[in-house]
Structure 1
Amino acid sequence: MELLPKQPSTKGPAELFTGDVYFDVIAKGEAPSRMRVNVVRFAPCARTAWHTHAVGQTLHVTEGVGLVQSRGGEIVEMRPGDTVYTPPGEWHWHGAAPGHFMTHLAMWEAPGDDRPETDWGEHVSDDAYGAR
């Protein structure tokens, strides 16, 4: 058994996020594990850029009101207790709704080969974000 002391929160980089986003690494999957878990906190209107995961991603909302969208799909509202799964290769974004903070657990696996865990795309424009 190993106790991992709490580390400082990390601000999400502007290349990958719009607005104020902070995350705490819960599990970083030391080999042979490939599991990754982060607690991610979004300020109102903050969001990820479009991205996809090699092995998919599961989000579990713990606080606030969030939004999630798959490319070509509708923007869906998320609330505490909601769990969203995006399959491997599905382009999507997620973040906080206007006027609300939102916190979720982000859970994904490294692919176990030479592929990147996450491919990042363009930022979600304010117009696209507001198109509900």
Structure 2
Amino acid sequence: MDIRRSGSVPSQRPPSQYFTGSVWQDPVFEAQAPARVWSVIVRFDPGARTNWHTHPLGQTLHILAGCGLIQKDGEPIQPLHAGDSIWIAPGEKHWHGAAPNTGMTHIAIHEALDGSSANWLEPVSDEQYAALTPQGAP
């Protein structure tokens, strides 16, 4: 058993090459082998977002606060709101982040395959993000 007390693990900035804008992460848990699940709370400032990426074993997101956006490659962008839960299938190319004028916080749950839980791809440019943002987004 491993109990991590609140505040015992500092917030951290994720690697900037995988994100656009201001993003913070708070680790929730990382199971020890042979388990391979881990979770992190991610806070996106308005306009902040991930690069395009995939997950070898999928990803679950649960929106805790604010409003965000998510897009699967080749499909329309979708708005996200506090209380929404999203399942992203293994290998599905996607990105997610905050709405242009509203921050968003989500909990992400992943499993690692051979030590990797994500395959990071190209950034979503400011032009793509602006063009993809649906009408009426927060």
Query: Structure 1 length normalisation: TM-score?
Result: 0.94
Measured against aligned partners, the alpha-carbon deviations of 1:36-81 in whole angstroms (never above 9, x if no partner) come to 1100000000000010000000100000000000111111000011
From 70, 82, 93, the counterpart of 1:91: 93
**Long gaps (5+) in structure 1:** none
Tell me which residue corresponds to 2:74. 72
Q: Is the 8 A contact 1:54 1:115 kept in 2?
A: no
Give distance in 2, aligned partners of 1:4 and 1:45: 31
Measured against aligned partners, the alpha-carbon deviations of 1:68-107 in whole angstroms (never above 9, x if no partner) come to 0011111100001101111000010000001101000001
Give distance in 2, aligned partners of 1:93 and 1:102: 14
Note if 1:121 corresponds to 2:121: yes
- Aligned-CA RMSD value: 1.2
Aligned-residue offset at 1:116: 2.9
Tell me which protein shows more helix as a share of its residues: 2
Give distance in 1, aligned partners of 2:60 and 2:53: 13
From 17, 20, 34, the counterpart of 1:18: 20
Give distance in 2, aligned partners of 1:54 and 1:126: 27
Give distance in 2, aligned partners of 1:68 and 1:90: 12
Tell me which residue corresponds to 1:39. 41
- Provide the identity percentage: 46
Tell me which residue corresponds to 2:29. 27
Letter of the structure 2 residue corresponding to residue 21 of structure 1: V
**Long gaps (5+) in structure 2:** 134-138
Off by >6 Å, runs of 4+ in structure 1:
none
